[in-house]
Amino acid sequence: MEQSSSPGTNPVELSNSIEELLKFTLQSHLNGTLELDIGLSKQFCSSLLNHPSTSPISLNASSSSEASQNPLYKQLARALYEIITFGSLQESSDCNKVASFCQGSDLKQKDEWFDLVHKEGSELAEDVHYYASFFEMLEAESLAKVLPGVKTIDEGNNPVILSRGGVQVYRKFYTEEKEKTNGVVAICVAKMAAQPYLSLARIL
């Protein structure tokens, strides 16, 4: 699943976002700045951050002097992405170490972990709706939801003007050509009770 970072820019992969969030969470635990005890030793977290996915991971492994280009946390992030998105690891998954761990676990324990990841992960990824145009999105989502406080929208040969007090947003921000080529996405968000990294920490 892809999410648009902003109009006219390249889309952002949810998997990449989870990867960066996981890295931040593990590093925060190592630095002692995480607000939650994730129940993992600092040595283990260091192994996830620094050891290549081709090397075995050990609870007592010492941190590598130089981080690998493909550390284990990236494989774990990919596994989390698949479970959040699909509810389980895919058959074609390249997350072999995580898959091996799950295969060696009790079925009930594995299902409980998948449910936890899917539930907590749903807080990280909200719905994304695609539309062919901005006005198609307004018709479906309503002006009040898309632009709270905006009363009217005028569009003619001039740029679109969204009036809210003295604030104006012009069509040059996202041209008609870009809109016809890329379409528009509505990212549905809700105010979260906690920071996203805390949701990920509860998964770990």
Same-domain status, 11 and 100: yes
Same-domain status, 77 and 169: no
Same-domain status, 120 and 75: yes
Q: What is the mean pLDDT of each run of 10 residues along the chain (204 residues)?
A: 41 66 88 84 88 50 43 84 77 59 63 76 64 77 70 52 40 67 64 64 74
Q: Which pLDDT value is given to residue 118?
A: 75
Same-domain status, 83 and 147: no
Left if phi > 0, otherwise alpha if psi is -120 to 50, otherwise beta: which for 172? alpha
Q: Which pLDDT value is given to residue 158?
A: 43
Same-domain status, 114 and 15: yes
Same-domain status, 133 and 38: no
Give the integer Cα–Cα distance in Å for 93 and 80: 11
Same-domain status, 53 and 134: no
Give the integer Cα–Cα distance in Å for 73 and 71: 6
Q: Which pLDDT value is given to residue 12?
A: 44
Same-domain status, 160 and 94: no
Count: domains in the chain = 2
Q: Which pLDDT value is given to residue 51?
A: 75
Same-domain status, 94 and 9: yes
| Tokens 């989502």, located at residue | 141
Give the integer Cα–Cα distance in Å for 66 and 102: 29
Same-domain status, 82 and 152: no
The whole domain housing 148 covers: 128-187
Q: Measuring CA to CA, which residue among 57, 40, 83 is closest to residue 202?
A: 40
DSSP state string for 60-71: TPPPPSS--SSB
- Partners of 105 in beta bridges: none
Q: Which pLDDT value is given to residue 98?
A: 61
Same-domain status, 6 and 66: yes
Same-domain status, 86 and 28: yes
